[in-house]
Structure 1
Amino acid sequence: MKTILGPALFLAQYMGDKAPFDTLENLARWASALGYKALQLPTDARLFDLELAAQSQTYCDDIAGMLAGYGLQVSELSTHLQGQLLAVHPAYDVLFDGFAPPALRGNTAARTAWAEDQLHCAAIASRRLGLRAHVTFSGALAWPYLYPWPQRPAGLVETAFAELARRWRPVLDAFDDAGVDLCYELHPGEDLHDGVTLERFLEAVDHHPRANILYDPSHFLLQQLDYLAFIDIYHRRIKAFHVKDAEFRPNGRQGVYGGFSDWQERAGRFRSLGDGQIDFKAIFSKMAQYDFPGWAVLEWECALKHPEDGAAEGAEFIRRHIIRVSERAFDDFAGGQVQTAQIAQILGLD
């Protein structure tokens, strides 16, 4: 069995204009002091030059060396924004344009081509950094038709997933060439948001070996999906792990959809680790049971708590939940040396 690595911290929610959140080195110094052992890096130019990393082993070595000076390493690179831009329904064009470079905004074809190139760069950069996994979003073409009224025309979902697979297949092949698993965060708003949609996609990409999962139980709790049974079903494809808490408290006015309320007023909302309802003891137990090979990465999102408190508490929370797996069975002390002949005798097979 394998002991989960951690704690690690996803930096997306911590980037800012003021120290210590303004540069990667300042963030590394801050995270190390909190007890983190690795950082999940957004491929945001403020922290990490993805195109340069794809071209230069020296740049990647310099990043790794700087982090090592603070007792840190890279857990994974993240291309959540670029993955989102690989497949955008026209209803969301204006909103998602802000994720693209200014020169590409308003040009859907150019934006999509840029996103694909970024993902290819991420495969190479991940290899240069010696990483085993990469995290991203799938994007969405069918999401606006999730709850069909008027009724979806026959074939709409199948066509959307066929196109999603067509766009992702060359990217998956690039990650396969790099020897890196591509892990989709299953997330409402994405076409891949639960087990059923994952299976649709896997079928469309011929069960590509690099099409894997970033497991985040918070998104499953808010969908009222059994997040523990999910691990039992899909553990072979879970190659990345966001440790994020959530709570779901429906009432007579509001349920899963939230009534367009702000996050503070929603029945389902994200919380800092330990403040929500997710059974992380059971999750970490299942991860140990199934030999999860990667990092336990805090993704902090909470409608109430200050992010710096969430980061400080999260490192200790993850550390307490990681199970150092046993190297032998607990009842080995009662065993003895049994030879083949004895086994036959025990079973009455002489």
Structure 2
Amino acid sequence: MKGPAIFLAQFAGDEAPFNSLGAITKWAGSLGYKGVQIPTWDGRLFDLEKAAESQDYVDEVKGICAEAGVEVTELSTHLQGQLVASHPAYDTLFDGFAPPQVHNNVGARTDWAVEQLGLAAKASRRFGCTAHATFSGALMWHMVYPWPQRPAGLVEEGFAELGRRWKPILDKFDENGVDACYELHPGEDLHDGVTFDRFLEAVGNHARSNILYDPSHFVLQQLDYLAFIDIYHERIKAFHVKDAEFRPNGRAGVYGSYSGWVDRPGRFRSLGDGQIDFGAIFSKLTQYGYDGWAVLEWECALKHPEQGAAEGAPFIARHMIRKAEKAFDDFAGTGSDKALIAKVLGLGA
């Protein structure tokens, strides 16, 4: 495993040092981060189209990062991925994820999003990244609760359509040798293991359809985030290190009562302030040979982001495990050969 790294999306802003790639990477490096995950939609930091077409530009970005002591871990198209599939109920809100020229035009906006994903696949290859972070989008999120009763076949067709939209995109990622890693997230049709399985079937078990593992979203859903690793470790190709807590009470539970983040029973927290057992998570990922990056995604309704970022790098570093190259009891080994094994088993006596 590599790290610690930090996702820059929640920190980018109009004030220094968060308003340019050079300044924000120096800030991240000064806190002890070794890598940065770059939001490709933020023009203050990055030009996705230029990165897809120009190796010189990519080398310039890599040089800026290297000067700050960090490297690019993955590129992110969370906002663009959301727009690959979107229900009309959310059109007004999601228009803000796209440039003005495609607002109020769902077809044009979807085409733009698909094109963005293709550019991200090419740009990721130029950076030498093997994983890419994104969202699946959602055609069915408004039907997450089975009331009113769903028409027969609705869910099956929803995943079939999602597969039709994403299969050509996944093929482009395959052409570029990059895994598309979906952050399983409420608000997306891919938000847990069952929905990921349904999508995987819809895209023909595509090798490039993989997972960005973020345990915080599973805490809020009350899903076993450790058992998830046991089941899906072969598909986990990216990792957001983000804490969360779930404290139900006599008035509110999983659905959150339309409350803001501070007042919800389930809410994201800065690393170490929530309920997630990161020792167990890092142990399981190490056990299964995860060799990607451990990337802080800071989202907390209470703590200031700069405090969360400063505390995040040492937190991740403390939890990273250098995998043992030999068994702890090798000092007591007796060697092994067929004759010894037969003797120990009492065979041939």
TM class, shorter-chain normalised? over 0.9
Aligned to 2:281: 283
SS at match of 1:39: strand
Moved over 6 A (4+): none
Aligned to 2:336: 338
Aligned to 2:16: 19
> How far apart, in 1, do the equivalents of 2:132 and 2:184 lie?
14
SS at match of 1:8: strand
1:98-109 pair list within 5 angstroms: 98-109=96-107
> How far apart, in 2, do the equivalents of 1:178 and 1:188 lie?
29
SS at match of 1:184: strand
> How far apart, in 2, do the equivalents of 1:346 and 1:90 lie?
70
Match for residue 150 of structure 1 among 148, 151, 154: 148
> How far apart, in 2, do the equivalents of 1:52 and 1:287 lie?
35
1:93 equivalenced with 2:91 (yes/no): yes
Corresponding pairs, count: 347
Instruction: Report how far residue 180 of structure 1 moved.
Output: 0.7
Aligned to 1:192: 190
Q: 2:306 is matched by which residue type in structure 1?
A: E
Match for residue 217 of structure 1 among 206, 215, 218: 215
> How far apart, in 2, do the equivalents of 1:71 and 1:294 lie?
18
> How far apart, in 1, do the equivalents of 2:144 and 2:68 lie?
45
> How far apart, in 2, do the equivalents of 1:104 and 1:200 lie?
30
Instruction: Report how far residue 149 of structure 1 moved.
Output: 1.7
Instruction: Report how far residue 13 of structure 1 moved.
Output: 0.3
Match for residue 57 of structure 1 among 50, 55, 58: 55
1:2-151 pair list within 5 angstroms: 4-43=1-40, 44-151=42-149
Instruction: Report how far residue 62 of structure 1 moved.
Output: 1.0
SS at match of 2:62: helix
> How far apart, in 1, do the equivalents of 2:347 and 2:123 lie?
59
TM-score (ref. length: structure 1): 0.98
SS at match of 1:182: strand
TM-score (ref. length: structure 2): 0.98
> How far apart, in 1, do the equivalents of 2:4 and 2:293 lie?
7
Deviations 1:234-262 (A, max 9, x none): 00000000000001110010000010011
Instruction: Report how far residue 46 of structure 1 moved.
Output: 1.7
In the alignment, structure 2 segments of 5+ residues that lack a partner are none
Q: 2:144 is matched by which residue type in structure 1?
A: L
SS at match of 1:19: coil
In the alignment, structure 1 segments of 5+ residues that lack a partner are none
Match for residue 248 of structure 2 among 247, 250, 260: 250
> How far apart, in 1, do the equivalents of 2:223 and 2:65 lie?
37
Instruction: Report how far residue 297 of structure 1 moved.
Output: 0.3
SS at match of 2:4: strand
> How far apart, in 1, do the equivalents of 2:299 and 2:337 lie?
56
Identity %: 71
Instruction: Report how far residue 337 of structure 1 moved.
Output: 2.5
SS at match of 2:10: helix
